[in-house]
């Protein structure tokens, strides 16, 4: 049996994600990663094959965290639309309070990964679609509960909310005032709620 790695994979992925956020994928070197994680290059290659392999796991880990947040919001709210609103407020709170989840690796990746890295770009696209599918599921439930207009296309609404999610992250980055960001979120969801009575 091969020798087991003497490190926590999650810890390495956490530390590597901060390096990728700080430097971007292209400018991050293996030395940057080994300095941040304490891994030797041989151990890094053995565990993740290469920088792209590590980045893929970072993206996977980030996506799972976002879905976990969405699931937690659903568990804590009776309303499906309320769950989505809570998720939006959670993401803006993370940015305003500078938590480790403040930045969106997927959005960064869309703009930063070069076109020649087709596999990575496709993988990021899949992960964005994975989150969008969870948003869609909540919207479909909201329609079933008559929380929003049943004539609206939930696929289009999910894309609409994903676009808003990216936009409100930018707004939260630009404004440290939590009230400004929260008011924007409230306005969006008041619009969705009012559509159920039209």
**Is 79 within the bounds of a domain?**
yes
Q: Examine residue 120 and state whether it is found in any structural domain, yes or no.
A: yes
Q: How far apart are CA 195 and CA 147, in angstroms?
A: 9
In a domain, 112, yes or no: yes
Q: Between vectors from CA 66 to CA 179 and to CA 28, what angle results, nearest 5°?
A: 100
Q: How many domains does the chain have?
A: 1
- At 1 the pLDDT is 41
Q: 58-98: per-residue pLDDT in tens?
A: 999 999 999 999 999 999 999 999 999 999 888 877 776 66
pLDDT of residue 130: 95
Q: Is 166 exposed, middle or buried (0-12, 13-18, 19+ CB in 10 A)?
A: middle
Q: Say if CB 20 and CB 55 are below 8 A apart.
A: yes
25: in domain:
no
Which range marks the domain in which residue 135 is found? Answer: 59-197
**175 phi, psi to nearest 5 deg:** -120, 120
**Is the residue at 1 inside a domain?**
no
Q: Cα–Cα distance between 123 and 68 in angstroms, integer?
A: 19
- Whether 34 is covered by a domain: the verdict is no
Q: CA 156 to CA 140: how far, in whole Å?
A: 11
Output the pLDDT for position 35: 95
Q: Is residue 123 part of a domain?
A: yes
Residue among 9, 19, 111, 109 at smallest CA distance from 61: 9
What pLDDT is recorded for position 5?
Answer: 52
Cα–Cα distance, 20 to 28 (Å, whole number): 6
All residue ranges of the chain with pLDDT < 50 are 1-4
Amino acid 133: pLDDT: 95
In a domain, 181, yes or no: yes
Q: What is the pLDDT of residues 95-111, one digit of tens each?
A: 766 666 656 788 888 88
Res 172: pLDDT: 65
170: domain CATH number?
1.10.357.10
């Amino acid at each position: 049996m091969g020798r087991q790695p003497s490190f926590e994979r999650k810890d390495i992925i956490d530390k590597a994600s901060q390096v990728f956020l700080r430097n971007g994928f292209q400018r991050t070197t293996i030395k940057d990663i080994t300095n941040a994680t304490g891994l030797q290059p041989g151990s890094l290659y053995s565990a993740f094959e290469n920088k792209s392999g590590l980045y893929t796991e970072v993206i996977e880990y980030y996506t799972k965290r976002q879905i976990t947040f969405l699931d937690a919001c659903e568990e804590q709210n009776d309303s499906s639309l309320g769950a989505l609103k809570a998720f939006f407020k959670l993401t803006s709170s993370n940015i305003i309070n500078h938590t480790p989840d403040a930045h969106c690796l997927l959005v960064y990746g869309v703009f930063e990964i070069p076109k020649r890295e087709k596999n990575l770009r496709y993988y990021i696209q899949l992960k964005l679609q994975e989150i969008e599918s969870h948003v869609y599921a909540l919207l479909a439930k909201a329609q079933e509960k008559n929380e929003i207009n049943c004539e609206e296309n939930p696929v289009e609404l999910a894309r609409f909310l994903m676009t808003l999610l990216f936009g409100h992250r930018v707004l939260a980055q630009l404004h440290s005032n939590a009230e400004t960001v929260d008011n924007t979120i409230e306005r969006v969801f008041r619009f969705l709620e009012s559509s159920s009575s039209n």
